[in-house]
Structure 1
């Protein structure tokens, strides 16, 4: 027989430990036209262009005293074929568990977003309305969140009168080499009325394996670049990949003006244990500066349009055959979105990109809109019409 006192304590514990679990998801599907995909015009069905298709579970348990246990499991999929995205991983978008306190902040453990995505990526056009095709060339700064971080410990502060900040550290897990394959990032943001501003930093060791290769269903290749885009696939031999970024937005009536800047560096080129990832014999460092301006206008509660221009310039870098002068990319994007209901909308978007100079493969630069097969020429354009439903 259980003592009455213990029954009382159990009842009190049950009253505090209130749990919630929510099923959520997005299905985004449409038709695309691309002017030059590997040398040919292409019509195709494409999914997740405006927002990646996904389903997931999120939950929390009240532990009392303002403390909660939380979790998130999020799986990406392609509605065109039913396949998992993120390299075929079951919960490839995110998977974490943690503790949250309204006054102290949140600590989570698992597969997560870095702070560049969380703090600065939200100010880029890909978040406003341009989708992944409007991401910066090759998603080189990861604003579009093409790469997640495994084995990560993450902290996000509470909101202190508009100021919030955080940090993330991913353990490399290599015996005897504490820093190998590690990733860390820091970020901070501030919001006051119509004004928002943020800055972030990310540093990745051995990025060809630890960052660009971590969406694979098996061990990533150590004999080739785990990067698809010609914009920077030639720099896979870098010991370190680094992003410094800042962004902001300002609301004026129905308009929101936004801007981002990022500096991307691939340092210690050729200083890697993997073979076959440095065919051009690069040495030293390569860096890119990227700047974007964008505007979103809400014509009615149901209808909005966005426009953006992005400019990226790459540095020169020493190769086995001489000096690579670097590449320059110009990109423009225009999109429109119409809400049929609170959960369903239709949209159209177009992106044009022009490239010049010499790209990371040590070849004449070709246009390479993010997520598409690269062009065989200096120019590429795409138009996509889609339908999105959220649940």
Structure 2
């Protein structure tokens, strides 16, 4: 009996030591609200919406100390709808993120389904990722700054912080036999933070974006168009390459922060992917967009944040669509984990859109207006755990 008790005591000591060297954290966000839009195909809209300020999610994050400064890390993150309970990201169980890797004093290497460098570096400078909800994202989120899309089959490096400088890159294997470049994704970025100043830049290149980027969920089409979310880009599913160059910065003085972003998005070599039969597809040339955003936020009190922003999108190449967008918002924190928010967005469109028709207003996350103008507002509550 003594031997048995000693064995259990030794086992308990070993288990405690192992637990001290590793950890697993359950975390998540529950965000619920209501949207009003003055024109969706000619009619008013009143709609419940989940994840307006931040997408609903739960996840597991873990680390294990392997000794010598080396750690194993992992993240499994699920997206869902708070109003229906359905899985997001096309029904994938861990559609937001799923990766494992190693970390040391120089940085972290991970493999799995991950965010690209535009999201990691310039994305959080856009107001849609701050206080303006997905309605305030750039039209159609065409530059992915609002993190609509992920990269499957990817290898990613993120550096440690070197006197305020961080950098990294991602490469996603296409996985098509005999066609090494097909469906591949690569990106890189760099960021600098020093005192009140922040600067970021990133590059993203996606081969066959209709399948590798927009169509990388379990319910995606293997032959048809997966780029149906917005008239801003839905006519460009036949593009051979999508390229994004993005930069941004912010400066904080006192309770105020002024920020700006710029992106150039190109859908190159239209008609080169073999996509046929998709309605409204442009099949020659390249579509290009400039996007510039100027934003401002003010911490009126420790609990109340006010924000305003203007965004301008200009198409060129095979289209000449223009989108002017203004956003106002407020975010009130009743605790460090719970806040209430309200935002309003106005968009005006002109020119010819990706489908070859007269451009209509098409605020991100909504269906298009029947006219050149669209107004939307959202009110909601967010809780983090």
TM-score range, shorter chain: over 0.9
Partner of 2:7: none
Give the whole-Å Cα distance in 2 for the aligned partners of 1:219 and 1:78.
19
Aligned CA distance change for structure 1 residues 16 and 78 (closer, same or farther; 3 Å): closer
Give the whole-Å Cα distance in 2 for the aligned partners of 1:17 and 1:345.
34
Give the whole-Å Cα distance in 1 for the aligned partners of 2:153 and 2:277.
27
Contact 2:121 2:202 in 1 (8 A): yes
Give the whole-Å Cα distance in 2 for the aligned partners of 1:326 and 1:234.
13
Query: Post-superposition shift, 1:17?
Result: 7.1
Give the whole-Å Cα distance in 2 for the aligned partners of 1:136 and 1:279.
22
SS at match of 1:83: coil
- Of stretches 132-141 and 282-291 in structure 1, the one that deviates more from structure 2 is 282-291
TM-score, length of structure 2 as denominator length: 0.94
Contact 1:208 1:227 in 2 (8 A): no
Determine if the alignment matches structure 1 residue 255 to structure 2 residue 253. Answer: no
Question: How is 1:46-61 mapped onto 2 (pairs within 5 angstroms)?
Answer: 46-61=49-64
Question: How is 1:69-218 mapped onto 2 (pairs within 5 angstroms)?
Answer: 69-101=72-104, 103-215=105-217, 217-218=218-219
Determine if the alignment matches structure 1 residue 346 to structure 2 residue 340. Answer: yes
Query: Post-superposition shift, 1:12?
Result: 12
Partner of 1:26: 29
Contact 1:236 1:278 in 2 (8 A): no
Question: How is 1:216-231 mapped onto 2 (pairs within 5 angstroms)?
Answer: 217-231=218-232
User: Cα deviations across residues 38-93 of structure 1 (Å, max 9, x unaligned)?
Assistant: 22101111110001011111010011111110100110111111111111111110
Aligned CA distance change for structure 1 residues 194 and 174 (closer, same or farther; 3 Å): same
Determine if the alignment matches structure 1 residue 333 to structure 2 residue 334. Answer: no
Determine if the alignment matches structure 1 residue 303 to structure 2 residue 304. Answer: yes
Partner of 2:287: 286
Give the whole-Å Cα distance in 1 for the aligned partners of 2:62 and 2:142.
33
Partner of 1:4: none
Query: Post-superposition shift, 1:281?
Result: 4.5
Give the whole-Å Cα distance in 2 for the aligned partners of 1:241 and 1:387.
35
Give the whole-Å Cα distance in 1 for the aligned partners of 2:287 and 2:279.
13
Partner of 1:363: 357
Partner of 2:6: none
Of 39, 44, 57, the match for 1:41 = 44
Query: Post-superposition shift, 1:196?
Result: 0.5
SS at match of 1:160: coil
TM-score, length of structure 1 as denominator length: 0.93
Aligned CA distance change for structure 1 residues 111 and 104 (closer, same or farther; 3 Å): same
**Unpaired runs of at least 5, structure 1:** 2-6, 318-324
Aligned CA distance change for structure 1 residues 280 and 89 (closer, same or farther; 3 Å): closer
User: Cα deviations across residues 247-304 of structure 1 (Å, max 9, x unaligned)?
Assistant: 0000010001110000000111111122224745431211000000001100111111
SS at match of 2:211: helix
User: Cα deviations across residues 313-332 of structure 1 (Å, max 9, x unaligned)?
Assistant: 00031xxxxxxx51000001
Of 61, 65, 69, the match for 2:68 = 65
Give the superposed CA RMSD. 2.0
Partner of 1:322: none
SS at match of 2:269: strand
Give the whole-Å Cα distance in 2 for the aligned partners of 1:17 and 1:176.
47
Aligned CA distance change for structure 1 residues 348 and 194 (closer, same or farther; 3 Å): same
Give the whole-Å Cα distance in 2 for the aligned partners of 1:31 and 1:12.
48
Query: Post-superposition shift, 1:32?
Result: 1.1
Of 367, 379, 385, the match for 1:385 = 379
SS at match of 2:286: strand
